[in-house]
Amino acid sequence: MAAKHDILVHNVGKFVVAQNEDENSRIDTLYSRGIQNGVELEILHEKLLPKYEPLARTHERFLWSSNTAISDSKAIEKAMRIEFEKLGGKIMLSKK
63: exposed, middle or buried (Cβ count in 10 Å: 0-12, 13-18, 19+): buried
Q: How far apart are alpha carbons 83 and 78 in whole angstroms?
A: 9
Q: What is the pLDDT, as a whole number, of residue 95?
A: 75
Is residue 31 within a helix (H) or strand (E), and if so which, with residue range?
helix 21-36
pLDDT (tens digit per residue) in 54-93: 999 999 999 999 989 999 999 999 999 999 999 999 988 8
Q: What is the pLDDT, as a whole number, of residue 49?
A: 96
